[in-house]
Amino acid sequence: MSGTQAAPPVFEPHFNPEIVLRAYCQGIFPMGNDDGTIDWYSPDPRCIIDFAQFHASKRLLRTCRQGIYDIRVNGCFEDVMWACADRDTTWITEKIVAVYSYLNQHGLAHSVEAYDQKGALVGGLYGVAIGGAFMGESMFHRATDASKVCLVFLIERLKERGFVLLDSQYVNKHLASFNAQNIPRAEYLARLNYALTLKCRFD
C-alpha cells in the first residue's frame, strides 16, 4: 500500500507565496509582527549591493580561501530562517517562515550556509530569487565571519549565474562595510524591472 502524502500547507488569502512573489516584482517586501499581522514596505531610498562596487577586506578573503567553513546551498533553509529570527526583536514570524519555506521547496527562495569543522551550522543567509534579482532577507552568525563568508559566496554565485541585482532593503553598518549603497526607489525599480526580464537559475 502506498504511503499517504502530506496535505499541502494552507495559507491566508492576504499572505501567501503568490502574493509575496507579486510584491517582490513591484519592489515591495513583507515583515511580520508579534500580533500575527504583516506589514509591507518599499523604502525610498533602497539599499542594494552593486557587484562592481562590492568590497571585502583582505582578511575576509583570506578566511574564504582558507576554507575554515564548509559552505552549502539549501541544506537547511528553515533552520537558517529560525537562526536569523533568534534575536531580541524580529520580523521573522511563523507565518513568514511558512511562506518562505514553501518558496524554498519550489525553487524560489534559497539559503547559503556555513558549517564548522564539526558539521555545526554557524552562519547563513537567505533570500528570494526571481529572474536576475536576488532579494536578500536576513543573515546570522554564531562564529567569527561565518555570515560574511556566506555573503562573499553569494556574490560570486550571483555573478557567475548572470544575476544583476542584489537587494538588501535597508543599509546598516554591517552592509556598509561591503560598500552597500542607497539608491532612489525609482532607480531601484528600473533595475528590478530589467532584472525580471532575465532567466537566471540560482540552484
* Exposure string for 75-97, b = 16+ CB within 10 A, e = fewer: eebeebbebbbeeeeebbbebbb
Contacts of 90 by beta carbon, 8 Å cutoff, 6+ apart: 84
Contact assessment for residue 179 and residue 53, using Cβ atoms and an 8 Å cutoff: yes
Tell me the pTM: 0.93
The grid coordinates listed for 148 are: 560574511
Task: Domain 17-195: give its CATH code.
Answer: 3.40.630.70
Q: How far apart are CA 151 and CA 191, in angstroms?
A: 21
Which tens digit of pLDDT belongs to each residue from 160-190?
Answer: 999 999 999 999 888 999 999 999 999 999 9
Separation between Cα atoms, residue 183 and residue 172, nearest integer Å: 14
- Every domain of the chain and the residues it spans: 17-195
pLDDT per position as a tens digit, 74-99: 999 999 999 999 999 999 999 999 99
The full DSSP string for 133-180 is: EEEEEEEEESSTTHHHHHHHHHHHHHHHTT--EEEEES--HHHHTTT-
What gap in Å lies between CA 129 and CA 74, rounded to an integer? Answer: 13
d(CA 158, CA 56): 16
Q: Helix, strand, coil % (nearest 5) of the chain?
A: 35, 25, 40
In order of 62, 85, 109, 177, the CA distances from 36 in angstroms are 43, 15, 22, 34
User: Residue 74: helix, strand or coil by DSSP?
Assistant: coil
SS3 189: helix
pLDDT tens digits, one per residue of 39-84: 999 999 999 999 999 999 999 999 999 999 999 999 999 999 999 9
Q: What is the pLDDT of residue 3?
A: 58
Average pLDDT, the chain: 95
